[in-house]
């Protein structure tokens, strides 16, 4: 039996990071070698002998898991920038290190936000449906018309790394004004964009494109509900690449069907993925992607490698490269 510490990994990693994982000699790697999520009972069984756990957003780190965990468990390393799936209070009580993967997915997620904004504004879903169904009647001057961003107002909800990167990508499309919300003003980030720090109500009332880039926490959960949609312009577009639970999906559907807002683009939903028959998936003015925000070769390998680095550091008592301060 191996005397090396055990690192349990809950998912198959991208190819480059997976090869590195398999070549590790300082730990015994055990892994759920599938692209789909590990079953709960299998995870509880696996964590009982783990010195380190490398997990994904789909793996709930709660009291049940920590009770089942090896008493010698030292570190939880999540392959994500968000950690709302982790009960941080309990992790702190156990004296565990918590690693995450900030910075490396900023560009890819901001790119996806722009993708969804353009698809929603130019009615790309409806256009693709015409092509795939063969219903097109040729070029038309008056049907299928979307909208452009020239002289419009951009609203960024959450002005951290991803929110700022999103604003920099979208500004050249011709927005005349950039508004943002954050817990406090960020003049250094805002100055190059001439962006204004405003209240959420002000942003919703004045913005033509609203991009959700904030973390999920008790303050932001269900933030976009009937009350929020009532403040938005009927021509407004909503894009969410943050976390699905920030948007009340029933209220979003009502806003789309009633014409309260014009369109939406979602990379994150509850659950993920949404069932094919879900009304938002079927709605012609709602573009839904299966959480591909960070899904590039470069970014996913960087995330996985950083998660491995954090796990190894925690197991061997070294400082984590990216540690959540609990």
Rounded CA gap, 262 and 256, in Å? 6
Instruction: Classify burial at 8, counting beta carbons within 10 Å of its beta carbon; exposed 0-12, middle 13-18, buried 19 or more.
Output: buried
Give every CB contact of residue 105 below 8 A, 6+ residues apart in sequence: 81, 162, 293, 294, 299, 302, 303
Q: Is 85 a catalytic residue?
A: no
Distance (Å) of CA 222 to CA 144, 232, 270: 32, 16, 11
Which residue in the list 132, 197, 283, 291 is annotated as catalytic? Answer: 291
The answer to whether the CB of 33 falls within 8 A of the CB of 46 is: no
Which residue, 118, 74, 70, is CA-closest to 98? 74
DSSP string, 236-275: -EEEE-S-GGGB-HHHHHHHHHTTSSSEEEES--SSSSPP
Mind telling me the catalytic residues? 291
């Amino acid at each position: 039996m191996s005397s090396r510490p055990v690192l349990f990994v809950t998912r198959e990693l991208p190819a480059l990071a997976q090869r590195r994982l398999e070549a590790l000699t300082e730990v015994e790697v055990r892994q759920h070698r599938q692209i789909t999520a590990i079953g709960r009972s299998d995870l509880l069984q696996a964590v009982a002998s783990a010195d380190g756990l490398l997990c994904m957003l789909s793996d709930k780190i709660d009291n049940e898991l920590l009770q089942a965990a090896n008493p010698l468990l030292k570190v939880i390393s999540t392959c994500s920038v968000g950690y709302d799936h982790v009960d941080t209070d309990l992790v702190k009580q156990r004296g565990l290190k918590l690693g995450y993967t900030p910075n490396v997915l900023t560009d890819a997620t901001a790119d996806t936000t722009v993708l969804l904004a353009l698809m929603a504004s130019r009615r790309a879903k409806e256009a693709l449906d015409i092509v795939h169904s063969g219903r097109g009647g040729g070029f038309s001057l008056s049907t299928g018309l979307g909208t452009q961003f020239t002289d419009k107002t951009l609203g960024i909800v959450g002005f951290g790394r991803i929110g700022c990167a999103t604003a920099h990508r979208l500004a050249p499309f011709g927005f005349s004004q950039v508004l943002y919300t954050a817990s406090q003003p960020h003049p250094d980030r805002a100055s190059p964009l001439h962006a204004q720090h405003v209240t959420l109500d002000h942003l919703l009332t004045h913005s033509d494109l609203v991009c959700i880039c904030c973390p999920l926490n008790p303050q932001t959960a269900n933030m976009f509900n009937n009350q929020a949609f009532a403040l938005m312009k009927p021509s407004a577009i909503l894009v969410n690449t943050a976390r699905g639970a920030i948007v009340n999906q029933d209220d979003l559907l009502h806003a789309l069907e009633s014409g309260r807002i014009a369109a939406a683009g979602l990379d994150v939903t509850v659950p993920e993925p949404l069932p094919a028959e879900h009304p938002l998936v079927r709605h012609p003015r709602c573009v839904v992607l299966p959480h591909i925000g960070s899904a590039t070769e470069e970014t996913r390998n960087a995330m996985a490698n950083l998660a491995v680095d954090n796990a190894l550091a925690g197991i061997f008592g070294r400082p984590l490269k990216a540690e959540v301060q609990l």
